[in-house]
């Protein structure tokens, strides 16, 4: 999970086909809206849960914070216990990522990564702890 948000941001930013233009009008979700998922292995065994939440626009409405939380089940925690939170800040007009940060506790070891995307997607800075 470490750097998952950073990787997703990089993949979106580096997409050669580009993103589709947003429809005019309000965003297709509201601040505070939450999606919840069960993570499964081969559609048979529940491996964990994930939730994603859209935050209120920040900085005069120019950025939207997105937050994801993931936790594996006790069955998979016997192999590797994972609890994590990932944040992404996206441009409110284009939904292109500007920053991604994840904070994961993996078998008791804290792992953090922080990616900042400024202008050119080829010039991304990723810091890890």
Output the six-digit token pair for 119. Answer: 């202008």
pLDDT tens digit string along 16-39? 555 566 777 777 788 899 999 988
How remote is the C-alpha of 19 from its chain's centroid? 17
Residue 29's φ and ψ, nearest 5 degrees, are: -145, 165
Greater confidence (51 vs 12) lies with: 51
- Partners of 86 in beta bridges: 68, 102
CB 34 within 8 A of CB 51: yes
pLDDT at 17: 55
Sign of the CA dihedral with 56 first, then 54, 51, and 117 last:
negative
pLDDT at 2: 42
């Amino acid at each position: 999970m470490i750097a998952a948000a950073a990787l997703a941001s990089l993949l979106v930013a580096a997409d050669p086909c580009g993103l589709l233009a947003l429809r005019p009008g309000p965003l297709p979700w509201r601040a505070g809206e939450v999606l919840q998922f069960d993570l499964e292995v081969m559609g048979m065994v529940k491996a964990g849960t994930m939730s994603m939440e859209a935050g209120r626009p920040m900085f005069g409405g120019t950025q939207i914070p997105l937050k994801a939380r993931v936790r594996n089940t006790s069955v998979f925690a016997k192999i590797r216990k994972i609890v994590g939170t990932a944040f992404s800040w996206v441009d409110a007009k284009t939904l292109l990522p500007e920053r991604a940060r994840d904070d994961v506790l993996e078998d008791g070891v804290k792992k953090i990564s922080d990616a900042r995307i400024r202008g050119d997607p080829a010039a991304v800075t990723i810091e890890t702890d």
